[in-house]
Amino acid sequence: MRKFTSLFVGASMLAVLISCGPSEKEQSLTAENNRLQSQVTTLQAELETKTAELTDLNERLSTSENQRVELDEQLETAEGQLSGLQEELGAAATERSALNEELNSVKSALDLSATELSAVKEAEEIARDQLGENEDSLATALSEAEVAKQEARNLSSVVQELRAALDEVQGETGQDNTGQDNAGQDNSGQDNAGQDNTESDVDGRVVALEQELAVLGEESQARELEIAALQSELAEVQIARSMADAAARQAEASLAELSATHEAAVAELGSFTAERDAAVSKVAELDEELESVRGRESVLGTRLVSTSTELTEAHTRAAGLTQQLAHLLQDHEELEQVTDERQAELAAVRDALEEAQQEVATLTGARGIYTVQPADSLSTIATFFYRQGALWPQILTANGHLIDDPDLIFPGMVLIIPQAE
C-alpha cells in the first residue's frame, strides 16, 4: 500500500512538473546545447578547412623530406667526389712536380750528352786530321825510303862492278909482270907507274862509293826507323779513332735514349696537365653543384621550418578540438536525455578529431591513431600495441599536445600511437 502511495505521489509530481513546463536548468542546458551545436558546426567547418590544409602540408612535407634526403645524398656524394678529386689533384700536382724535376734532369743530361758528343766529334775530327797528316807523312817517308833503297841498290851494283873491274885489272897486272921479267928492264918502270895510277883511281872511286853507300844505308835505316815510328803512331791514332767512334756511337745512343725519355716525359706531363685541368674543371662543377644543393637545402630547411610551424598549429587545433569534445561529453552526461541530433553532433566531432589526429600521425610518421575506450589507460594501450605496458611514456610523449596528466584520459579521446622505439 505504501509502495502504491509512493508511485502515486511520484506520478502526481511528474504531472505537476510537466504541466509547469521545462525547468530553468533544462532551459539553460538547451540553450547551451544550441550554442555548442552552433560552435560545433563552426568548428567542423573550420576543421574541414584545416584538414585540407593539413593534407596539403602533409604532402608538401613528405615531398620536402624526400627532396631533402635526396639532396643530402647528393651533397654527401658531391663532397666525397670533391674530396677524391682534391686528393687526385694533389697527387697529380706531386707527380707533375716530380716529372718536372725528372724533365729538368733529363734536359741537363741531354745538354751534357750533347756537349760531350760535340767534344767527341771535335776530338774525332782532330784525330782524323792527324791521321790524314800521319798517313801523308808515312806515304812520303815510304816513297823516300823506296827511292833511297833503289839508290842503295844502284850504288851497290856499281860498287860490285867496280870491284869486279878492279879484280880484273889486278889479275891482268899480275900476268904482265910475270911474262915480262926477261924482256928488259927499261920499260918495266914506266908500265908499273901507269898501273899504280889506274889502281889508285879505282880504289878512290870504290872508297867514295862505299862511303856513299854507307851514308845511304844509314839514311835508309833512319827512314825505316821513322817509318816504324810513323806506323806505330798511325796505329795509336787508329786505336784512338776507333775509341772516338765507339764513344761517339755511345754518345749518340745515349742522346737518342735521352731524347726519347724527354719526349715521353713531355707527353706524360701533357697528359697529367690535361688530367689536372679536367680535375680542376670537375672541382669547379662540383663547387657549383654543391652551392646549388646548399641553396636548395636552405630553401627546404625554410620550408621544413614553416611546415613544422604549421604542424605545431595543427597540434594546437587538435588539442582545442579534444578539449571541446571533453566539454561536450560532460554536458551530455549532465543532460537527462540525449537526442539523436546531439548524438550526431558528437559523432561528427569525433570523426573530425580522428581525421585531424590521423593527419598529424601521418606527418609525424606515427603508427596510427586510437580512440580511448572505457577503462583504458596508457599502460593498457601500450600493452595492446607494443605488448609492453612499460612503453606507455612513448604514447604520452607523442600526445603531449593533448595530455597534461597521464591519468586523466577519457573515453572518446583520440590518441596518436607512435612507432615503438
Model pLDDT for residues 110-137, shown as the tens digit of each residue: 788 778 878 868 877 886 887 788 778 7
What digits encode the pLDDT tens for the residues 11-50? 444 444 444 555 666 666 677 667 767 675 666 667 676 7
Under 8 Å CB-to-CB from 75, ≥6 apart: which residues? Answer: 290, 293, 294, 297
Name the DSSP letter for residue 338.
-
Tell me the three state secondary structure of residue 377: coil
> 225 is written with which cell numbers?
826507323
Q: What's the Rg (C-alpha) of the chain?
A: 70
One-letter amino acid at 303 equals: R
pLDDT of residue 376: 95
Q: What is the total residue count of the chain?
A: 421
pLDDT of residue 250: 86
Return d(Cα 226, Cα 141) in angstroms, integer: 8
Return d(Cα 329, Cα 324) in angstroms, integer: 9
CATH class of the structural domain 91-176+195-289: mainly alpha
Residue 418 backbone phi and psi in degrees, to 5: -80, 170
One-letter amino acid at 307 equals: T
In the block, which residue shows the cell 620536402? 64
The residues of the chain scoring below 50 in pLDDT are 1-19, 180, 182-186
Neighbours of 291 (CB within 10 A): 10
pLDDT of residue 368: 94
Closest C-alpha to 261, from 44, 106, 131:
106
CB 286 within 8 A of CB 86: no
One-letter amino acid at 262 equals: H
Return d(Cα 214, Cα 223) in angstroms, integer: 14
Q: Which helix (H) or strand (E) holds 417?
A: strand 414-417
Return d(Cα 198, Cα 40) in angstroms, integer: 184
Neighbours of 324 (CB within 10 A): 16
Name the DSSP letter for residue 293.
H
pLDDT of residue 369: 96
pLDDT of residue 17: 41
What digits encode the pLDDT tens for the residues 386-408? 999 999 999 999 999 899 999 98
Tell me the three state secondary structure of residue 333: helix
